[in-house]
A and B are shown apart, each in its own frame.
Chain A
Amino acid sequence: MSEAREFKYIGQSTIRPDGFDKVTGRANYGADLSLPGMIWGKILRSPHAHAMIKRLDTSRAEAFPGVLAVATHSDFPSVTDQAIESGEGSLTLLDLARNVLAKDKVLYHGHAVVAIAAKTSAIAEQALALIDIEYEVLKPVMDVREAMAAGAPILHPDMFTQGLAEKPTTASNVATRLEYKMGDIEAGFKDAEVVVEREFYTPTAHQGYIEPHACTVRYEKDGQSMIWCSTQGHFDVRASTAKLLGLDLGKLKVIASEIGGGFGGKTTVYLEPVALILSRKSGRPVKMIMDRDEVFKATGPGSATRSWVKIGARKDGTITAMQGRLAYEAGAFKGSPVMMGCMTAFTPYAVSNMYIEGFDVVVNKAKVAAYRAPGAPQAEFAVEMLVNELAVKLGRDPIDLRLQNAAKEGTQTIYGPKFKRVGLVECLEAARDSKHYQQALAANQGRGVAAGFWFNVGGQSSVHINMNPDGTGTIVEGSPDIGGSRASMQMMAAEAMGIEPGRLKPIIGDTENVAFSAGTGGSRTTFATGMAVIEAAEDVVAQMKQRAASMWNVTAEQVEWVDGVALNTAGEDRLSLAEICAGADRTGGQISGRGNINARGAGPSFAVHLCDVEVDKETGKVDVVRYTAVQDAGKAIHPKYVEGQYQGGAVQGIGWALNEEYIYGADGLLENAGFLDYRIPVASDLPMIDAIIVEVPNKFHPYGVRGVGESGIIPPLAAVGYAVENAIGVPVTDLPLSPPRVFNLIQGKG
Chain B
Amino acid sequence: MARVTFSSTQQQFTVDAECEVDASNYRELIDAITSRYPALDRAELLQMAVAIDGEIIHEPLLELVEQDSEIHFFHFIAGG
**Closest Cβ–Cβ distance, residue A350 to chain B (whole Å):** 15
- The answer to whether A458 and B56 touch across the interface, beta carbons within 8 angstroms, is yes
- The answer to whether B77 and A600 touch across the interface, beta carbons within 8 angstroms, is no
Contact stretch, chosen from A417-425, A433-441, A540-548: A417-425
- The answer to whether A416 and B58 touch across the interface, beta carbons within 8 angstroms, is no
- The answer to whether A417 and B72 touch across the interface, beta carbons within 8 angstroms, is yes
- The answer to whether A340 and B55 touch across the interface, beta carbons within 8 angstroms, is no
- The answer to whether B58 and A343 touch across the interface, beta carbons within 8 angstroms, is no
User: When chains A and B are docked, how far (Å) is the Cα of A586 from the Cα of B5?
Assistant: 58
- The answer to whether B56 and A602 touch across the interface, beta carbons within 8 angstroms, is yes
Taking CB atoms, residues of chain A closer than 8 Å to B73 are: 416
Taking CB atoms, residues of chain B closer than 8 Å to A179 are: 8-9
Interface string of A161-203 (1 = CB under 8 A from B): 0010100000000000011110000000000000000000000
**Closest Cβ–Cβ distance, residue B25 to chain A (whole Å):** 15
Interface string of B41-77 (1 = CB under 8 A from A): 0000000000101111111000000000010111111
Is residue A58 contacting chain B, with contact meaning CB distance below 8 A? no
Which one of B5, B8, B57, B79 lies within 8 Å of A523 (CB-CB)? B79
- The answer to whether A700 and B55 touch across the interface, beta carbons within 8 angstroms, is yes
Is residue A367 contacting chain B, with contact meaning CB distance below 8 A? no
**Closest Cβ–Cβ distance, residue B51 to chain A (whole Å):** 4
- Report the interface size for chain B: residues with CB under 8 A from the other chain: 23
- The answer to whether B75 and A339 touch across the interface, beta carbons within 8 angstroms, is yes
Contact stretch, chosen from A82-90, A101-109, A552-560: A82-90
Interface string of A589-621 (1 = CB under 8 A from B): 000000000101110000000000000000000
Which one of A87, A263, A598 lies within 8 Å of B78 (CB-CB)? A87
Interface residues on A, range: 35 or more
Is residue A722 contacting chain B, with contact meaning CB distance below 8 A? no
Interface string of A273-299 (1 = CB under 8 A from B): 000000000000000000000000000
Taking CB atoms, residues of chain B closer than 8 Å to A369 are: 80
Given A178-B9, A420-B54: 9 more A-B contacts, CB < 8 Å:
A85-B78, A263-B80, A267-B80, A374-B78, A417-B54, A417-B70, A418-B70, A600-B56, A710-B80
- Write 19 A-B pairs (CB below 8 A) sorted by A numbering: A87-B80, A88-B78, A163-B9, A179-B8, A180-B7, A265-B80, A267-B80, A372-B80, A373-B79, A416-B7, A416-B72, A418-B54, A418-B70, A456-B79, A457-B56, A457-B78, A521-B78, A598-B58, A600-B57
The 9 lowest CB-CB distance pairs between A and B, nearest first, are A522-B79, A264-B80, A416-B72, A370-B80, A417-B51, A417-B54, A179-B8, A372-B80, A521-B79
Using a CB–CB distance below 8 Å, which chain B residues touch chain A?
A: 5, 7-9, 12, 51, 53-59, 70, 72-80
